[in-house]
Amino acid sequence: MDLFAKVLIVSDSVTRGEREDLAGPQISARLVDAGFTIADYQIIPDGEESVAESLRAMSDFAGLLVTSGGTGFSPRDLTPEGTARVLERDAPGLSEAMRLVSPLGRLSRGRSGTVGQCLILNCPGSPRGALESLEAVLDVVAHALELLSDSPSPHPPETGGSTEISSS
């Protein structure tokens, strides 16, 4: 199965050119190392509407869509709210796993879930936080994408599953 990913950076200061996007290139490089092809990369300003609009446009594919930024407590940190407007199904286990990787993860309000065959993950805006969050779930993402593709997929034995076909 070919793995495709898109990266969406959410940051007023990066959009205005006041700060360099450091998280996006690191996220993209890690995804490529994990076997993904980067199909799109965009930078948008913070805000619920900008996030929802971009996610609607970018989620029409079979693959992973990683956002970085806008998951904290600042007034303009509205990525989770914009994401909630787009998601068809939540994936709370992924969000919880991403929050558990560091003490600061408890301050992340990021969401995870699906739209059609697209899995969306909200990561923090800091490069370290974004990579830690992505690493926390990257080992199960390919399996999640297989399940979303509606093709029979064995549950990996190393995760406690059997070799029986799932979702059949």
Q: What is the pLDDT of residue 160?
A: 54
Residue 92's identity, in one-letter code, is P
* Greatest C-alpha distance within the chain: 52
In sequence order, the β-bridge partners of residue 115 are 118
**b/e map of 122-155 (b: 16 or more CB within 10 Å)?**
bbbbbbebbbbbbebbbeebbbbbbbbeeeebeb
Residues 6+ apart with CB under 8 A from 66: 5, 6, 7, 8, 27, 31, 120, 121, 123, 130, 134
| pLDDT in the model for residue 1 | 84
| Residue at 113: amino acid letter | G
* Residue bearing tokens 């990683």: 66
Q: Which CATH superfamily is domain 3-166 in?
A: MoaB/Mog-like domain (3.40.980.10)
- pLDDT tens track, the chain, 168 positions: 899 999 999 999 999 999 999 999 999 999 999 999 999 999 999 999 999 999 999 999 999 999 999 999 999 999 999 999 999 999 999 999 999 999 999 999 999 999 999 999 999 999 999 999 999 999 999 999 999 997 655 655 565 554 454 444
The pair of structure tokens assigned to 61 is 């594919």
pLDDT value at position 168? 47
